[in-house]
Amino acid sequence: IFDILGEPEPEAELPPLKPMERRELLKGEKEVLGMYLTGHPLEDYVELLDSLNVSSIPDLEERKEGSEVTVAGVAAACRTMITRRGKHMAFLTLEDQFTTLEVIIFDEVLAQSRDLLAGEAPLLVTGRLEFATQGEPKMRAETIAKLEAPNSSHKLYLKIEGNTDSDCINRVLYVLDQYPGDVPVYMFFAETKALRLMDKFPVNPDRRLLIQLADMLGEDCVVLQNAKKQTAE
């Protein structure tokens, strides 16, 4: 009977499976389990966030109410509503590696950031710190930007020390406006430790621009960064 059946066919060899990319793995964990298991998306940005003094959500408990703060995280949930005045607003649950934060987003900021809130990219949120009755921190958003992958391209960082009056900022913005391009500009305000993406002023980092900014702010306050973290000279 075994002769009739003939020789058994060799087992088909399965092609080796490619390891899943970390980003896809985390996405799958969140979708299936409702939580990140093997890591967190912000772990890819730790060095960048540390260098910019971006606050972790637990750190906000030590800050003063009403101060301007910048935090990073992913949109864990977002609920929108319409106020009695017919304005749109949203309540964003922002999640970092440690915990979550409620972010209140009003009409104008919401209109500018709807696509970001619907996406999966980590966010950089700047706003005013508030505390709930139970003492939990929350934020009223002023700007929301996509947290760019570190070292993916050039970025221009400007540190504003001490003098943060509108005339000073306007002079800087005027100079930036003379060199339009595609390099994002970030302003770090030393006094409040707040980071702002100047999304309306991407620049061409011409040497003349860097010299002008260094004259205005100081050489140590102007940093053009790429994969090798170059400093403007």
Instruction: Report how far residue 76's alpha carbon sits from residue 34's, in angstroms, rounded to the nearest whole number.
Output: 9
Kindly state whether residues 138 and 76 are assigned to the same domain: yes
Q: Please compute the mean of the pLDDT values over residues 49-60 and round it to a whole number.
A: 84
Kindly state whether residues 135 and 45 are assigned to the same domain: yes
* pLDDT tens digits for range 176-189: 998 888 888 999 98
Does residue 22 form part of some domain?
no
Does residue 232 form part of some domain?
no
Domain boundary among 146, 171, 196: 146
Domain boundary among 146, 180, 210: 146
Q: Which of 95-104, 194-203, 221-230 has the lowest mean pLDDT?
A: 221-230
Query: What kind and span of H or E run contains 169?
Result: helix 166-177
Number of domains in the chain: 2
Q: What is the pTM of this model?
A: 0.60
Give the single-character DSSP code of 147.
Answer: -
Does residue 33 form part of some domain?
no
* pLDDT tens digits for range 39-49: 788 887 877 78
Kindly state whether residues 48 and 137 are assigned to the same domain: yes
Q: Which domain holds residue 96?
A: 41-146
Give the single-character DSSP code of 106.
Answer: -
Domain boundary among 146, 163, 179: 146
Does residue 233 form part of some domain?
no
Does residue 135 form part of some domain?
yes
Assign 79 a pLDDT band (cuts: 50, 70, 90): very high
Assign 214 a pLDDT band (cuts: 50, 70, 90): very high
